[in-house]
Structure 1
Amino acid sequence: MDDPERIARDQLACELANNQTEPPPGVYCAGTFDTWQCWPHTRANTTAFAPCPDFVPGFTPTLMAHKLCTENGTWWQHPASGKPWSNYTTCVRPEDDVSEIIAVYEAGYSVSLVALLLSLAILFYFKSLRCARITVHMNLFASFALNNALWLAWYALVVRAPATLAASPAWCRALHAALQYALLTNYTWMLCEGLYLHTVLVSAFVSERRLLRALLAAGWLLPLPSAVVSAARRAAAGEPLCWADDGAPRLELALLVCAAVLLNLAFLCNIVRVLCTKLRAGGGAGPARPSATALHALRATCLLAPLLGLQYLLTPCRPARAARYWLLYEYATALTTSLQGLCVAVLYCFCNGEVLAQLRRRWRVLTFRPRANSTTNTTVSFVRSGAAGAGEEKV
């Protein structure tokens, strides 16, 4: 879009055309080139129109952009920048406007980010909760929080700043590369969750310390090659618009994402199989109907879907903009994607029995003020009862 050769060529052609055109009588704005479109000499207090450029993604060439010449013979300046401004907002058809979808993403990511940070604060505070399973959860939360924060920064600094998008500075491209890495860590940490659950359930004898080290390395390092290759390819191609595009998914990114989701689906199927086998083995010779234990295990297993990212199987292929259900797909994707962090935080922190037991115990200790001669005994009894309750819920 900001090809230097095109800009130089079009600017030269614009200057030549304006030099060969007689300006209107009286006060007028001199013809100019704004790097996108050539604007002719225009009489004061009138508006010049020009076709929308066809090289800008999302623009419709059959629509018209416009530029206002003020009554004193100067092009209208935007109050925010103080520079002459051409109005290209009319180059996007109303049905192609995705500002409302972006607002859904921003709201969902903001809510999820708050929930994830609160979850991480709770899990960091209660060191008694620290174990391999909780450590894996915390890294998943951190991955989601990083991804959500970067998406919010992208929308605020790039998407809502067309000048930045058009200039495509180095920091903007670096932000996009970091965003791609953070997005991939979501999938690798969801894969680590599935691998951990599957290993603990299927392999009875496994060193959790060694497994955790392997998962930490895989979760944060596995996305690096794909992200680096993608950034290098974009840099070599000199892609504009801060490397943002709506084209087909890149192979180096799509392979890792598809592998993570499909492997988690295989893990989940095997987890269900092992659970059903164990339930049948311990169910005795009773009638062949689902017991309360089996139903509880099945319900708990279904809750693994957001943890493993299996909801992405519902929206594998993005339809074309011309499709009737395109808008419905975009809203569904915005909700499921942006609120996944909130869903995971609620299910695996705020509704976790061990976490709730610790919160109840801590709240009692902080709010209950017994007499001075019984402080120690009361506090000890609360700690013991809370620890016993937590132990019972673990079982």
Structure 2
Amino acid sequence: MRDAHLFQGALRFVHLLWVGLFSIETCSGKVLEKTFEEWMRYKAECLKKMESDPYPAGLFCNRSFDMYACWPDGTPGTTVNVSCPFYLPWFEKVKHGVVSRRCGADGHWALPNGTEAWRDHSQCKEETDGASEEEGAHQLMVSFKVIYTVGYSLSLLSLILALLILTVFRKLRCTRNYIHANLFASFGLRAVSVIVKDSLLEKLWGKEVLQMSDWEAFLSDEAAIGCRVAQVVMQYCILANHYWFLVEAVYLYKLLIGAVFSEKNYYTLYLYLGWGTPVAFVVPWMVVKYLKENTECWALNENMAYWWIIRIPILLASIINLLIFMQILKVILAKLRASQKGYADYKLRLAKATLTLVPLFGIHEVVFIFATDEQTTGVLRYVKVFFTLFLNSFQGFLVAVLYCFANKEVKYEMKKKWQLWKLDHTALCCTQ
């Protein structure tokens, strides 16, 4: 247990940073795995060296590997210095430092407290500034995680209620509301997939490591199967959510430019577009990840070419939505001008229509459409991450409010249902 604690100290900052970055693409998981691999190589080289080196004559302190550094035979009464272990993630900063041990006059390593060998590894510790920076990044990402968890939870509850309303009231059952219901469902599934994925990651990466064998199990493929499945489901739900944005845009455009289209019901095609299209991209991405990047929870993108399998359909849907959005605004503007309303009035109505359509079409995502992860660093990356997570997590709640709870048709049906219930209740009371 003590040896595991020594090694765990070398990986503490990496593990801490990973826990704070569950849902954001990061290289910290890669650092953790690489550090463990380097430690295994360091240990193997140390054991090989201990076997091959000749033993000195006379009294000496035995060569050993204390799970942190590799120690040669020590001359009694001297301090033995060895270079900082190369597996440390911050090795480049401390490569000229040394870790020290005291060999006692009796030929045994010094035990100041009677149980553990004395060792001074102060020169091999990470710099304070770097540690503080990592702690700051950890706290910031934990705050982001709290925000989007609240957002997705609130969205999920409101979406479930909105779906119940659209399915319970018969007079609300029409193609338009069916499409809204599917969009609500895609938002709900996206929220559930993110929350479940975070829970699995927290369970995996939040484990307490007590023995060295725990590290091997900790980084094994078997331990990551659950979160890999969750990662695939989450990517499908995100894609489905974007393509139901597209369905909403296409349907509204069809209504406004109705003369161009036939009256045929396209609802079946909308179902294929919304739920079927994502499969065409998620399956190839899953196969490529399994064959080429089958590490950890598939959250890392070492080769960004593979990530474009998911990114391209999202960008394509977003661009098409933006174009349709602009065309719809032109049609709305023309109709408002033709309705002989006052200038200020149609401007206000156009602004209202614009703000209403933005969350329905997911237009806000176009703001960061070309600000890819490779291009954003430092403060800009944190700004992008914050706005993306905040808007995406609360968007389901906003859409449920705008297109269900605040909808005049929905409010009318609910009010009528309430009045009928009161009349029935009053009549029941009078007959008793």
Q: TM-score, normalised by structure 1?
A: 0.72
Structure 1 counterpart of 2:185: 142
Summarize deviations over 1:175-202 as a string: whole Å, max 9, x none.
2111111110011100000000001110
**Preserved CA contact (<8 Å) 2:85 2:91:** no
Unaligned runs of 5+ in 1: 33-37, 42-48, 75-89, 376-395
Unaligned runs of 5+ in 2: 1-29, 72-83, 96-110, 118-130, 208-216
Aligned residues: 339
Residues 16 and 364 of structure 1: CA distance in aligned 2, closer, same or farther (over 3 Å): farther
**Preserved CA contact (<8 Å) 2:42 2:86:** no
Structure 2 counterpart of 1:103: 146
Structure 1 counterpart of 2:27: none
- Aligned counterpart for 1:241 among listed residues 251, 271, 296: 296
Distance 2:275 2:241 in 1: 9
Structure 2 counterpart of 1:12: 44
Distance 1:308 1:183 in 2: 14
Give the structure with the larger helix fraction: 2
The structure having more radius of gyration, on CA atoms, is 2
SS at match of 1:222: helix
Amino acid at match of 2:345: A
Structure 1 residues 323-332 or 129-138, which shifts more? Answer: 323-332
Q: TM-score, normalised by structure 2?
A: 0.67
Q: How does 1:366-381 map to 2 (within 5 A)?
A: 366-368=421-423, 369-371=425-427
Q: 1:281: Cα distance to partner?
A: 3.4
**Preserved CA contact (<8 Å) 2:151 2:393:** yes
Structure 1 counterpart of 2:66: 31
Q: Which has the higher contact order (CA 8 A, sep 6+)?
A: 2
**Preserved CA contact (<8 Å) 1:113 1:145:** yes
Amino acid at match of 2:395: Q
Residues 25 and 157 of structure 1: CA distance in aligned 2, closer, same or farther (over 3 Å): farther
Q: 1:112: Cα distance to partner?
A: 0.9
Distance 1:321 1:61 in 2: 25
Q: Percent identity?
A: 25
Structure 2 counterpart of 1:190: 245
Q: How does 1:5-154 map to 2 (within 5 A)?
A: 9-16=41-48, 31-32=66-67, 53-54=88-89, 62=93, 93-97=134-138, 98-154=141-197
Q: How does 1:190-339 map to 2 (within 5 A)?
A: 190-204=245-259, 206=261, 210-245=265-300, 248=304, 250-283=307-340, 289-290=342-343, 292=345, 295-316=348-369, 317-318=371-372, 322-339=377-394
Residues 17 and 103 of structure 1: CA distance in aligned 2, closer, same or farther (over 3 Å): farther
Distance 1:254 1:203 in 2: 32
Distance 2:299 2:372 in 1: 17
**Preserved CA contact (<8 Å) 1:18 1:31:** no
Distance 2:301 2:132 in 1: 18
Residue 156 of structure 1 pairs with residue 224 of structure 2: no
Structure 2 counterpart of 1:85: none
Amino acid at match of 1:302: L
Distance 2:333 2:359 in 1: 21
Residues 371 and 337 of structure 1: CA distance in aligned 2, closer, same or farther (over 3 Å): closer
Q: 1:141: Cα distance to partner?
A: 0.6
Q: 1:145: Cα distance to partner?
A: 0.6
Structure 1 counterpart of 2:20: none
**Preserved CA contact (<8 Å) 2:321 2:363:** yes
Summarize deviations over 1:209-261 as a string: whole Å, max 9, x none.
63111111110011111111111111111431211126658221121111111
Distance 1:135 1:339 in 2: 22
Q: 1:8: Cα distance to partner?
A: 6.5
Summarize deviations over 1:118-145 as a string: whole Å, max 9, x none.
1111111112201000000000111111
Q: 1:21: Cα distance to partner?
A: 12
Summarize deviations over 1:319-338 as a string: whole Å, max 9, x none.
66752343333222221111
Distance 2:86 2:132 in 1: 9
Amino acid at match of 2:354: T
Amino acid at match of 2:360: L
Residues 116 and 373 of structure 1: CA distance in aligned 2, closer, same or farther (over 3 Å): closer
Summarize deviations over 1:70-117 as a string: whole Å, max 9, x none.
98779xxxxxxxxxxxxxxx7981233122212222111111111111
Residues 244 and 127 of structure 1: CA distance in aligned 2, closer, same or farther (over 3 Å): same
Distance 2:401 2:203 in 1: 31
Amino acid at match of 2:151: G
Residues 261 and 30 of structure 1: CA distance in aligned 2, closer, same or farther (over 3 Å): same
Residue 346 of structure 1 pairs with residue 401 of structure 2: yes
Distance 2:376 2:157 in 1: 33
Q: 1:62: Cα distance to partner?
A: 5.0
